[in-house]
Structures are given as C-alpha cells and as structure tokens.
C-alpha cells in the first residue's frame, strides 16, 4: 500500500513531510512507503513514552501494532530529546528484536524527519544529531548457480501456466538486466527499442533517475514473443503503455512478480522457501557481468543504478565462480529445441 493510503491515520506534519520527500525531492514511492512504516513505529514509541510509559515497561507487541499516531503533534515532537531517541534504538533492539540493518534503516528515516522539522523551524533543535548506526556484518549477495539459472528459465517456458510467455520474459529480463523489482514493474512499451539499429530499454531507478540498458538476443526474443500474446488494451486504459499486464489488463503488481519468481525458484533451489526472493536474480545477473564479462566496476555501478561505488564494490569480493552461457543457451527457441531433441532421442 502507498503512504498516501494512510493520510487519514497520520498527523499533518508527517503527511506533509512524506509528500515533500516524494513529490519535491523525487524519492521513489517504495522508499517513501518504507519511511512511513519506519516513522509510524517511532511515533508509536513517542506516544507511549510521553503518555503511557507503563506500556513500554510491560511491552505487548500486539497492542503496540494498534496504537494510533493521529494525535501526535508538533508540540510532542518538540519534547523529544537525544536520550529519547537512544532509548528508541534500544527499544528496537530489545523489544522489537530488529536486526542491525533494520535498526539502521529506521534510524536513517528518523534522522531525515528531524532534519526536515528542524530546517523548517517546526522544532527548536534536532535531537537526532550524534546518533550512530549499528555495525552490520557484511554478507556476500546470494545468487543462483549456472545450472539453477538455466533450469529456472527452462521450467518457466515449459510450464502449464497460461502466462508462461510473460513469466519467462520477466525472468529473462531480471537475469540479463540486473533490475530492481520496482524497475521491472515500471517498464513501459515506449521504454523499449528493438530494431536493426538499436536494442535498448530505459528504466527508472531510485530517485527517478533514468538509465539506458542494452539488450541481448535472449531478452529481445523474450519481449517480442510476449508482445504477441500480451492482452490487447485500449488507449483509455491508464496502463495502456505498461509492458507487463495482469489478467485484468492492469500493470502487473510487485506482489504478483514476487509470487511468480518465488514459485519458479522453489522448483530449482535445494533450500526451497529459504531466500526465494526477486533480488537474488539481480545478484545473479550482476555476478555474471562482473565475473564472466570482466565489466569495469564503474560501468557496473551505472548498470545497477547505484548512487555510490560502495554499494557496487561488494561484487568484487564474490568468489570466482563464473556463470557461463546463461542466456545464450537459454533462449526460448533453444530450450524448446533441446526438449524436442530429447524426445526424439537425439
């Protein structure tokens, strides 16, 4: 759900802040949605701290989820001290059992809120100054092996699903273009150029930043095959230009894509439900680019749409397990040709 769906349940200053971040600073909607949930947790804590501290001492997680933040005012926010925010971080650790990564994300969200309130003179001082992030153990990104990647594509195109061509195209693009989930869902037909002179796709990443990616033979074929069976829509449909559509002729949702990929990955991963998420395909694609094709890390940063090189550098620490020929040998036509050959005993 969008942060806009919770406006009636939120104080005015929070609504104004989130709209500023989304529509003035042009942050991605998913980023602002996550910030809303982070800040709702903070405001629930503040409400208990100021008006019912006994509920913090006898913490009930089910009750905490029901706390309304509508009544929180700027006057309440002016009462928040640096020590209160330290206590909030401790509360995230001790009571909500948040991981260091989750605590750091919520800390970043509250810092930006208090910076906004202070800069606009809604509060006299910024109480979040001096708060430090928790240390997070660096973990190498998980990715599919060569055989798992090939099987993923093969299973999808050979499945009984009425949407197998669409689902294959989605998976193929993930494995080739290193996209985020939001970027794939947001692709429009007008973003794609596939002709004799150019084979590219334009995607919109975080902060509404656009980048152009080049497509290989497998992706071009997958998109063209899908366009042949894509539901026909009229120009009066607001999602007329969306590349991937649901059965209701609406732009496919993030949740739907997550379900598609999860169902596909369950069939190829030995650990079944563990780590069957979309981002593994982004890691798989990036690993291929760096390890197999020796892509310069600065170019890789641009392909991934990272703001800083630090986010990209993790791929330089991956073990040298090269994923060879994932896509060249996994076009729709090659998969079906091998299947026919096996049936004929070839």
Each residue of 181-230: pLDDT tens digit?
Answer: 999 999 999 999 999 888 998 988 877 778 888 888 999 999 999 999 99
pLDDT score recorded for residue 306: 54
Q: What is the mean pLDDT of residues 225-245?
A: 95
Nearest of 106, 81, 78 to residue 92 by alpha carbon: 106
**How far apart, in Å, are the Cα atoms of 117 and each of 20, 68, 114?**
12, 21, 5
Residue 282 a catalytic site member: yes
Q: What is the side-by-side order of every strand in the sheet holding 210-214?
A: 192-194, 199-204, 210-214
Catalytic residue among 17, 36, 168, 315: 315
Supply the mean pLDDT for the chain: 84
**Global confidence as pTM:** 0.56
Q: Delineate the domains of the chain, giving CATH numbers in brackets.
A: 3-119 (1.10.150), 146-343 (1.10.443.10)
DSSP reduced 3-state for 239: coil
DSSP designation for 177: H
Query: Does the annotation count 202 as an active-site position?
Result: no
d(CA 240, CA 263): 27
Distance CA 148, CA 272 (A): 12
Which residue of the set 19, 206, 250, 277 is catalytic? 206
- In this prediction, residue 272 carries a pLDDT of 47
Q: Is 317 a catalytic residue?
A: no
Judge whether residue 251 has pLDDT over 90.
yes
3-state SS assignment for residue 120: coil
pLDDT for the residue 20: 96
Rounded to whole angstroms, the Cα distance separating 154 from 234 reads 33
Confidence of residue 38 (pLDDT cuts 50, 70, 90): very high
Q: Is residue 279 annotated as part of the catalytic site, yes or no? A: yes
- The active-site residue, picked from 55, 111, 254, 279, is 279
pLDDT score at 300:
58
pLDDT mean over 68-73 = 97
Ranked by mean pLDDT, the top range of 21-30, 111-120, 128-137, 257-266 is 111-120
Residue 70 pLDDT: 97
């Amino acid at each position: 759900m969008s942060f806009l769906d919770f406006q009636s349940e939120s104080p005015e200053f929070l609504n104004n802040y989130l709209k500023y971040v989304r529509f003035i600073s042009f942050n991605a909607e998913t980023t602002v949605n996550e910030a809303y949930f982070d800040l709702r947790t903070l405001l629930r804590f503040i409400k208990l701290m100021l008006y019912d501290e006994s509920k913090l001492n006898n913490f009930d997680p089910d009750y905490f989820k029901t706390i309304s933040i509508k009544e929180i005012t700027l006057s309440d926010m002016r009462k928040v001290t640096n020590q209160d925010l330290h206590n909030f971080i401790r509360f995230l650790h001790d009571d909500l059992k948040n991981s260091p990564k989750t605590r750091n994300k919520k800390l970043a969200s509250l810092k930006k809120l208090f910076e906004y309130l202070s800069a606009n003179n809604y509060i006299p001082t910024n109480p979040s100054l001096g708060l430090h992030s928790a240390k997070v153990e660096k973990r190498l990104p998980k990715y599919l092996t060569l055989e798992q990647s090939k099987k993923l594509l093969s299973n999808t195109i050979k499945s009984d699903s009425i949407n197998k061509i669409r689902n294959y195209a989605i998976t193929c693009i993930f494995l080739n273009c290193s996209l985020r989930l939001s970027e794939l869902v947001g692709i429009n037909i007008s973003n794609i150029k596939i002709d004799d002179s150019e084979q590219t796709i334009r995607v919109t990443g975080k902060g509404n930043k656009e980048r152009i990616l080049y497509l290989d033979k497998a992706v071009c074929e997958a998109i063209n095959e899908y366009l042949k069976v894509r539901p026909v829509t009229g120009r009066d449909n607001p999602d007329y230009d969306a590349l991937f559509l649901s059965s209701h002729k609406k732009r496919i949702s993030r949740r739907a894509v997550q379900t598609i990929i999860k169902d596909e990955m369950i069939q190829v991963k030995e650990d079944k439900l563990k780590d069957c998420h979309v981002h593994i395909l982004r890691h798989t694609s990036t690993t291929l680019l760096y390890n197999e094709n020796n892509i310069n890390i600065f170019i890789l940063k641009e392909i991934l749409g990272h703001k800083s090189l630090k986010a990209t550098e993790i791929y330089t620490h991956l073990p040298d397990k090269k994923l060879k020929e994932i896509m060249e040998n996994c076009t729709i036509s090659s998969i079906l040709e091998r299947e026919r050959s096996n049936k004929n005993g070839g």
